[in-house]
Amino acid sequence: MGEKKKLFASLRYIVPSELEEFLEQQASEGMILRFLSQGSLFYFTFASEEPEESAEGADGSEDTEGSAVKEKTPEKIKYAVDCTGLSKALYMETLINKGWEYSGRAMNCYIWKKRYTGLDRPEDFTDKAALKKHCLVLGVLFFLLAAVILSLWAVMIWEMVKFDPEIMKNRIPVFIVSMVIQLPVMLYMLWAGYRLTGAAERYGKMEGIVKRTASSYKETMEEIAAEEAAQDDTSDLFGPDAKAPKSIFGPDEEEPASIFDLEKDTRTDE
């Protein structure tokens, strides 16, 4: 079983949804994420694994007789990167009971995986509100760190301009080297902050869609229940305990004679 390491994977795929796509892409190539250790911030370790196959019939049912030609369906893996404020014990127990495998934590998010076959992809359970908060807080933090680096640059430039060049002659090379080293760090902070705040907005829209869908579903079910109740009330009008409607002619009123009865009376008189 071969292994390979992906350096700074959690920093390159800092948005949870992008990390899910990256892990699933590796799984499609037969490289499965190993349980994350303390060094997961710097690298992810993947182990090669031959994709398991399940024998299914053309209609998706298992062929128990073995007479028909068996169709090999490769096993796939669905990853979920989730952030939640729920109780860790209850949260993990619930997902484990539903067949999810815990793969560790990265960037304060839980990583789960679940194996499946065919088109029966597991449903997404991630908390969109928690993911939105996670991305927003982390994005603002990266922007603040970038601002700190810029403020250090401003201080160094101010010192180079303010003080005597003869005194600063030995410090200027040190300042330039430190600025060159800090430049890629600052650029990464700005990039990560931009990616995370944009992801927070997308997760916010997804959260709104979920809420509107749930609200619409609730309203639809209430409307259906009201219509069924109205139909039940109408059907009870002529139920076994209901009284027949009164005739339009009262007890003292006579019903009009039929035209055929009038013709009979006329023939009798003749």
199 close to 15: Cβ distance less than 8 angstroms: yes
Question: What DSSP designation does 41 have?
Answer: G
Q: What is the dihedral of CA 196, 202, 205, 210, to 10 degrees?
A: -100
How far, in Å, CA of 249 to CA of 231, rounded?
29
7: left (phi over 0), alpha (psi -120 to 50) or beta: beta
What value does the CA radius of gyration of the chain take, rounded to a whole number of Å? 37
CB under 8 Å to 156, separation ≥6 — which residues? Answer: 175, 178, 179
Burial 132-141 (b: 16+ CB within 10 A, else e): bbbbbebbee
The model carries a pTM of 0.67
pLDDT at 270: 45
How far, in Å, CA of 175 to CA of 172, rounded?
5
How far, in Å, CA of 212 to CA of 37, rounded?
39
96 close to 34: Cβ distance less than 8 angstroms: no
pLDDT at 164: 64
- Helix, strand, or coil (residue 257): coil
| Bridge partners of residue 32, in order along the sequence | 47
Tokens found for residue 218: 């609730």
Under-50 pLDDT residues of the chain: 54-70, 214, 217, 247-249, 253, 255, 259-260, 262-264, 266, 268-270
pLDDT at 65: 44
- Helix, strand, or coil (residue 116): strand
pLDDT at 46: 93
Provide the sign of the torsion angle of the four alpha carbons 110, 214, 114, 46, taken in this order.
negative
How far, in Å, CA of 43 to CA of 229, rounded?
61
How far, in Å, CA of 208 to CA of 203, rounded?
9
